[in-house]
């Protein structure tokens, strides 16, 4: 029987098929852990006297709470410090590999997996974080889970799951200059709505998707959850293999060959049937920005703030009125006239090396608008080291931006990086919910290129608004692998990390 | 987990759609490391508003939340379910739930029942006309009754069975430990392992400092 990519991965992980309404039991290849959604899971294990079944399929990092300044000093916020200390104690107790603040492999959990080569095609990947959908860019089934599911995976390395429906999202053609994968996904969410993907695994396909670098694909899959979908996937291809090859945990030798042979079968069959399909023409896309308080409230940057009175559907009209009141926006204002206070460049959506490179290309040799605060927060410490090796940090500092240490930072404001009440941001992150970036903060979701142009002009802008030199190529970002900052190829296992000796590792 | 058959408690009409998990419990409360005590965090941004429904005396002891569509969207935080339970809610009714929220609810013994939007509107009318009206939720019959109005709700058979039996998920799965071990035997050698750890050479990460 012909199958979709999602169905193939599902079948390959079936431990036990459920009968009579009982869910299927699926094996989990990789479990990512961070400090926010894990403490109560470990507490549950301890209370039940259960061990972690597979510490060797589990990896933890500190990201949501970590400060992006003064990381060598004690964390000032007591509750943040407690969560991080709790993760460290749990990692020691249960034998989990942990990359702590200050470690070169610390960073946002969704950057750490791919960067280490742990995220591969054909895997099941879970994490107590909804943006786990990021890892689907490699052609695996990756989704966020709640804390009791975290406990379940720790204890059993499996999850009982009801099958998802499948939706194909086909993006034809080529992206116009100045648009990015972020604009594709914001356009998709604006089209199908924040509930449009509910119950589905989305598979992104088509010429425009194939042309994207690995990192750009991660941006798209990352935000699948903002359309309500459980996961997003892209079939693996040469771009995927190229990105993976030579990474610390990528298979080697015969294992690599066997893996690639299998990975090449991971595509939806030509006659596979999807439960739903959405088609977009990439050539029609413009840079997208959100104007409201959910990621589906987005428009091309050339548009104006919507006029609620013109919206026919009553619940949408009421929602728009509420959003505009919170956002402090006048209906009908051209989006390009909206002035921002802060530009945030970072997060698991757009904090990777190619995002930083694209921003650097735009801001090089310029100064930011006077009264705009610009934060650049790399997704991981490795990304930061790589950017520094390329001199991007100097470009950002000369531009007037703050160059920070890695973490989730202002994406959700669990650390000191927050918006003040009423403060307005252009943010490369993934959620513009009320209060997410700080109580009363107002968020416009944008691509890294729009963030860069906005930082220069002080109002929501695209690179088309700048007098960029003609030789600045903004159409391609190659997603060159993060090469370990000139490190030699991996020849042996390095075990000098500040991490526990695994008691039960096999 | 406590067994759930029927529950009767004050119904709370929450006339909002798209109540995301940041509204149910803001991220700042996620820093706690315990499993209980989140009642103060529930709808924290709205609790300061005297007109908010839970601030009205008739509804303050509510245990059946009747919400607008797309309840529980956004982040996967299970704290949203804990906060609702810690406050005293046993049931949430909505015409549409976010998948993760609905999954989390079932695991924690919070009943998330799907009710047609027109029936939600009828319940809202009853609860707003007579504040403090109790709603009886019968999981066996899959109905919710407020005064003389009875509406059906949907919940999948498996979650319903588990709620009625009060069964712990992990214990259920561990009954199949042999199947899991057998599956592990077949796992291809290219599939990743996090241990022993491999990584590029360690480098010093310079701490960023505040500017100006």
The sign of the CA dihedral A176, A180, A183, A189 is positive
Q: How far is B200 from chain A (nearest CA, A)?
A: 6
Q: pTM of the full predicted structure?
A: 0.85
Distance of CA A393 to the CA centre of its chain: 22
> What pLDDT shows up at residue A1?
54
Cα–Cα distance for residue pair A246/A481, rounded to 1 Å: 9
Nearest to B22 among A149, A404, A436 (CB): A436
Average pLDDT over residues B132-148: 97
Amino acid A146: pLDDT:
87
- pLDDT at residue A480, rounded to an integer: 40
- Within 8 A of A152 by CB-CB distance, chain B residues are 169-170, 173
Tokens read off for A267: 């595509």
Question: How do A165-172 and A158-161 pair as beta strands?
Answer: unpaired
Encode burial over A289-304: b for 16+ CB neighbours within 10 A, e otherwise. bbbbbbbbbbbbbeeb
Whether B198 and chain A come into contact, CB under 8 Å, resolves to yes
Quote the CA–CA distance of A434 and A440 in Å, as a whole number. Answer: 7
How would you write A194-251 as a 3-class SS string? CCCCCCEEEEEECHHHHCCCHHHHHHHHHHHHHHCCCEEECCCCHHHHHHHCCCCCCC
Element (H, E) at B66: strand B64-67
Which of A384, A433, A481 would you mutate first to test chain B, the one with the most B CBs within 10 A?
A433
Higher pLDDT, A467 or A136: A136
* Backbone Cα Rg of chain A: 22
Q: Per mean pLDDT, which range of A391-395, B91-95, B165-169, B172-176 is the poorest? A: B165-169
User: Tens digits of per-residue pLDDT, A323-341?
Assistant: 999 999 999 999 999 999 9
Subunit contact A123:B203, Cβ cutoff 8 A? no
pLDDT bin (cut points 50, 70, 90) of residue A475 is low
Token pair 């009421």 is at which residue? A318
Query: What's the farthest any 2 CA atoms get from each other in chain A?
Result: 65
Annotated ligand binding at A221? The verdict is no
Q: pLDDT tens across A298-320, in order?
A: 999 999 999 999 998 888 899 99
Confidence of residue A354 (pLDDT cuts 50, 70, 90): very high
DSSP string, A344-412: EE-HHHH-SHHHHHHHHHHHTT----TT-EEEE--SBHHHHHHHHHTTHHHHHHHHT-EE--SSSGGGT
Q: Is the pLDDT of residue A478 over 80?
A: no
Q: Note which residues in 15-44 of chain B have CB less than 8 A from chain A.
A: 17-18, 20, 22-23, 26-28, 30-35
pLDDT at A25: 97
Q: What is the DSSP letter of B94?
A: E
Q: Give contacts of A149 with chain B, Cβ < 8 Å.
A: 103-104, 107
- Share above pLDDT 70 across residues of chain A, in percent, rounded to a whole number: 93
Cis omega (within 30 of 0) for bond into A161: no
Nearest to A379 by CA among A341, A429, A426: A429
Choosing among B76, B82, B101, B109, which should be mutated to test the A contact, i.e. which has the most A CBs within 10 A? Answer: B76
The mean per-residue pLDDT over the stretch B36-62 comes to 95
pLDDT at A472 (0 to 100): 76
Chain B residues within 8 A of A116 when measuring between CB atoms: 198-199
Q: How far apart are CA B194 and CA A119, in angstroms?
A: 11
Single out the residue of A152, A161, A17, A44 nearest to residue B170, CA to CA.
Answer: A152
User: Exposed, middle or buried: residue A147 (CB in 10 Å: 0-12, 13-18, 19+)?
Assistant: buried
Contact A402 B211 (CB under 8 A): yes
Residue A269 pLDDT > 60, yes or no?
yes
Position A377 scores a pLDDT of 98
Cα angle A208, A427, A421 (rounded to 5 degrees) comes to: 155
Contact between A146 and B107 using a beta-carbon 8 Å cutoff? yes
pLDDT for residue A476 is more than 70: no
> In this structure, is the dihedral angle defined by the CA atoms of residues A103, A104, A108 and A111, taken in order, positive or negative?
negative
Kindly report, residue by residue over A42-56, the tens digit of the pLDDT. 998 998 899 999 999
Interface test with A, best of B95, B194, B212 (most A CBs within 10 A): B194
Alpha-carbon separation of residue A43 from A39, A160, B27, B33 (angstroms)? 6, 21, 20, 9
């Amino acid at each position: 029987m012909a199958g979709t990519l999602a169905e193939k991965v599902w079948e390959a992980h079936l431990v036990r098929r459920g009968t009579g309404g009982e869910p299927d039991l699926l094996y989990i290849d990789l479990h990512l852990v961070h400090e926010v959604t894990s403490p109560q899971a470990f507490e549950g294990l301890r209370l039940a006297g259960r061990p972690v079944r597979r510490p060797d399929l589990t990896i933890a990092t500190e990201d949501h709470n970590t400060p992006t300044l003064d990381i060598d000093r004690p964390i000032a916020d007591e509750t943040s410090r407690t969560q991080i200390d709790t993760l460290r104690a749990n990692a020691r107790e249960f034998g989990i590999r942990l990359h702590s603040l200050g470690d070169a492999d610390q960073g946002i959990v969704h950057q750490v997996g791919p960067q280490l080569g742990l995220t591969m095609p054909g895997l099941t990947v879970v994490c107590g974080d909804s943006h786990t959908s990021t890892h689907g860019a490699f052609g695996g089934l990756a989704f966020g889970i709640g804390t009791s599911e975290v406990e379940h995976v720790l204890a059993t390395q499996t999850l009982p799951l009801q099958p998802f429906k499948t939706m194909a999202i086909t993006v034809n053609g080529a992206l116009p200059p100045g648009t990015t994968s972020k604009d594709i996904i914001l356009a998709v969410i604006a089209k199908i709505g924040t509930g449009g993907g509910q119950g589905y695994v989305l598979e992104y396909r088509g010429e425009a998707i194939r042309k994207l670098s690995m990192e750009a694909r991660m941006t798209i899959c990352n935000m699948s959850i903002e359309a309500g979908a459980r996961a997003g996937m892209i079939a693996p291809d040469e771009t995927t293999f190229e990105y993976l090859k030579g990474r610390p945990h990528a298979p080697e030798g015969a294992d690599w060959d066997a893996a690639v042979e299998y990975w090449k079968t991971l595509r939806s069959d030509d006659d596979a049937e999807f439960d739903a399909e959405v088609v977009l023409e990439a050539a029609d896309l413009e840079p997208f920005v959100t104007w409201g308080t959910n990621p589906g409230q987005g428009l091309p940057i050339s548009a104006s703030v919507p006029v609620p009175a013109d919206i026919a559907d009553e619940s949408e009209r009421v929602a728009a009125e509420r959003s505009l009141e919170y956002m402090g926006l006048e209906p009908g204002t051209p989006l390009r006239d909206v002035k921002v206070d802060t530009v945030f460049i970072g997060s698991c959506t757009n904090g990777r090396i190619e995002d930083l490179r694209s921003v650097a290309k735009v801001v090089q040799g310029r100064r930011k608008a006077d009264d705009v605060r610009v934060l650049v927060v790399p997704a991981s410490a490795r990304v930061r080291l790589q950017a520094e090796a390329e001199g991007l940090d100097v470009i950002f500092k000369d531009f007037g931006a703050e160059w920070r240490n890695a973490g989730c930072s202002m994406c959700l404001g669990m650390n000191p990086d927050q918006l003040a009440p009423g403060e307005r941001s252009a943010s490369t992150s993934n959620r513009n919910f009320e209060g997410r970036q700080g109580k009363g903060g107002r968020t416009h979701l944008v691509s890294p290129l729009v963030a860069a142009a906005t930082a220069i002009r002080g109002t929501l802008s695209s690179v088309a608004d700048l007098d960029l030199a003609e030789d600045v190529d903004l159409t391609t970002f190659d997603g060159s692998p993060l090469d370990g900052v000139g490190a030699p190829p991996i020849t042996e296992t390095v075990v000098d990390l500040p991490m526990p000796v695994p008691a039960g590792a096999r | 987990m406590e067994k759930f058959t029927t529950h009767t408690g004050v119904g709370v009409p929450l006339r909002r759609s798209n109540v995301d998990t940041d509204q149910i419990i803001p991220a700042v409360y996620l820093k706690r490391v315990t499993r209980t005590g989140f009642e103060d965090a529930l709808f924290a941004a709205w609790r300061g508003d005297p007109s908010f429904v839970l601030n009205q005396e008739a509804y303050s002891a509510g245990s059946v939340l009747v919400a607008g569509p797309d309840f529980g969207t956004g982040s996967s935080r299970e704290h949203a379910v804990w906060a609702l339970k810690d406050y005293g809610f046993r049931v949430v009714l909505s015409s549409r739930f976010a998948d993760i929220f609905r999954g989390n609810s079932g695991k924690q013994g919070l009943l998330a029942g799907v009710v047609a939007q027109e029936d939600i509107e009828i319940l809202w009318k009853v609860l707003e006309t007579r504040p403090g009206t109790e709603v009886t939720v019968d999981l066996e019959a899959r109905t919710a009754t407020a005064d003389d109005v009875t509406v059906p709700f949907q919940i999948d058979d498996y979650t319903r069975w588990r709620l009625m039996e009060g069964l712990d998920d992990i214990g259920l799965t561990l009954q199949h430990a042999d199947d899991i071990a057998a599956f592990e035997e077949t796992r291809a050698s290219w599939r990743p392992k996090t241990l022993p750890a491999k990584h590029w050479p360690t480098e010093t990460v310079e701490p960023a400092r505040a500017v100006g």
